[in-house]
Amino acid sequence: MAKIILVASGKGGAGKSTVSALLGEAFAFRKSPVLLMELDSGLRSLDVALGVTENIVFDMGDIIRGSCEIKDAVINCPFCPNLSLIAAAAKPIMVTDEIIRKIDRELGNYYEFIILDCPAGIGPELEEAAKCADLGLVVATPDPSSIRGARAAGILLQNSGVKERRLVIERCPQKAKKLSPLKNLDEIIDGSELQLIGVIWEDPDTRDAMDSGEPLDDTGVNFETFRDLSERIRGKNIPLGFK
């Protein structure tokens, strides 16, 4: 069985899909096979990030309706051989924990990680995904409402039995690097009541990578950031330092 990592946020637009895609790439570039599942029915975006929009024949909706074999809905990323995607359903539909478990039973032996890119908020979709997640990553930008949302999402994950829960701060201004960043981030960590596992910088190249369907440039500011995040999730002790 694969390790199931759920990516959630209280507020929309925090960076869940960005974290899901680029964390998936970071694992996959280091030879760990990853299956991404976008659970945000009706609001696809990971197909764009992976450059596979034209390759979608079946999606999560077809799996739920039983109109395709699970394996037929798996799309391989053209630029990252160990990375695959099940695209979100085109129209809103509930992805239950039974469906996620069924996919894991059928395909989990081929993947080291399954990453669930969840819809924003603390609704029933997140509760379903939480029932089968081994690790919950809660994504928040540094603004107060996003942090408040992260706290709510963290509580939902805790109440749903997700044992490991961590905070990823997204879109952190790069000027924070120069200003004693840990001190500035303290407030966010306190507000979210979650343990910090990664800080992703606000960076136009990161946005472009998501919009263009191309990999993150290995000279870019967030390449190392995602590599370190992936290594921390594997259990390596990589300090949250800033250079």
Site residues (CB under 6 A) for ligand ADP? Answer: 9, 12-18, 45, 170-171, 200-203, 206-207, 210
- Nearest distance, CB of residue 83 and Mg ion, angstroms: 17
- Nearest distance, CB of residue 223 and ligand ADP, angstroms: 12
Query: Burial, 84: exposed, middle or buried (Cβ in 10 Å; 0-12, 13-18, 19+)?
Result: buried
The answer to whether 160 and 152 are in contact (CB under 8 A) is no
The answer to whether 181 and 242 are in contact (CB under 8 A) is yes
Which option in Mg ion, ligand ADP, none does residue 202 bind, with CB closer than 5 to 8 A by kind? ligand ADP
The residue among 82, 65, 69 whose CA lies nearest residue 30 is: 82
Which option in Mg ion, ligand ADP, none does residue 207 bind, with CB closer than 5 to 8 A by kind? ligand ADP
Pick 70 or 120: Cβ nearer ligand ADP: 120
Pick 128 or 176: Cβ nearer Mg ion: 128
Which option in Mg ion, ligand ADP, none does residue 18 bind, with CB closer than 5 to 8 A by kind? ligand ADP
Distance CA 78, CA 51 (A): 7
Interacting residues with Mg ion between 33 and 72 (CB under 5 A): 45
**192 sits near Mg ion (criterion: CB under 5 A):** no
Distance CA 140, CA 16 (A): 9
- Nearest distance, CB of residue 196 and ligand ADP, angstroms: 16
Instruction: List the helix and strand counts (H, then E) for the chain.
Output: 9, 8
**18 sits near Mg ion (criterion: CB under 5 A):** no
Pick 12 or 123: Cβ nearer ligand ADP: 12
Distance CA 106, CA 222 (A): 33
Among 17, 146, 160, 206, binds Mg ion (CB under 5 A): 17
The answer to whether 172 and 40 are in contact (CB under 8 A) is no
Q: Which residue has the tokens 């992260």?
A: 150
Pick 185 or 209: Cβ nearer Mg ion: 209
- Nearest distance, CB of residue 98 and ligand ADP, angstroms: 24
